[in-house]
Structure 1
Amino acid sequence: MPSLNRRAFLATLGASTVGKLAGCSTIGTDDPPAGSLQFINQDSLPHAMQLAVTDVGSELNNETGTVAGDVPVPAPQRNLTATEQLSSEESTTYTDVFTEPVWYAVECTVDGQQTTQEEFQTEAMFHPAPPGREYVNYLQAVLRDSGQIELAVVTTDNSGRYTPSISK
């Protein structure tokens, strides 16, 4: 006859396994949530990286590469700045930075200076959950080993506070 300890162990093991399977969709996703900001320093020297919102809008103006339209967003989202001092090969991620479903025009500087080389993107248009699209995004500011900064809009599997729009 099996002991009660064995039965209790098996019941606990079974419940634990079911719980792990039920939560498997969130296991393994280390993506930052939509609306996050990630600073990455790939340079061999420490640097101060700064990101600033320069404008917000309801739509993206592809012709001029700007945002357009008035949107009611809180003042902190219009005047958002973030500065991070990073050592070599260090990164930091801030969640819930871009809290509104609007287009953000942003620019990034390193050590207080904007790059002058055209092949590096220091300005970007960013939306955490672009209208009519099935994906959500976070913003990444990467300082390359060349000392140049790049902004990248990165798709994430972690929707965070956003529900992606679905185009039809």
Structure 2
Amino acid sequence: MTNSLKELPAGDVLPTASTTAPFRHGALCALWTLLLLATLVPVVVAKPNEARLIALLAAIYVGQALLAEILGVRVGHETIVAPRRWGPFSSLWRRRLEIQSVKSILAKPKSAWGEQVLLQPLSGSRLLLLFQSRDQKLAFLKVVSTRDRRVSIYRAD
């Protein structure tokens, strides 16, 4: 089904074309925060220097993943910026896509990590976006479809 979006509930305001709409996944932010605290403990208390170094490297990775999740998915006037994911959980900084370069969007069913959307740019690579709620996912799809009407939006069952 192409561009078949339900209307947002009354009172929800979509951002204007000149603003950026952020969409954060609060549960993943909390999980990355707990992991950061867990990796910082060995940095402080570990005796061998090798263990401290490994814990420090893990803390740096977890810290950047937390920052990427806090910044969330942002839809600007011409771009989408989102955490770059290896899978549904891990992320490695962020990726910027021009909205015009997005060929299609696949709205996937809810998973254990939340609502999923798969962006497929013209370059052929894919970008997995996670949303905490269905309302966030619908708002994202609505914002993207208003920014560029040529983007095809499909629903996977």
Normalising by structure 2, report the TM-score: 0.24
Question: Relative to total residues, which structure has the larger strand share, 1 or 2?
Answer: 1
Larger Rg: 1
Normalising by structure 1, report the TM-score: 0.23
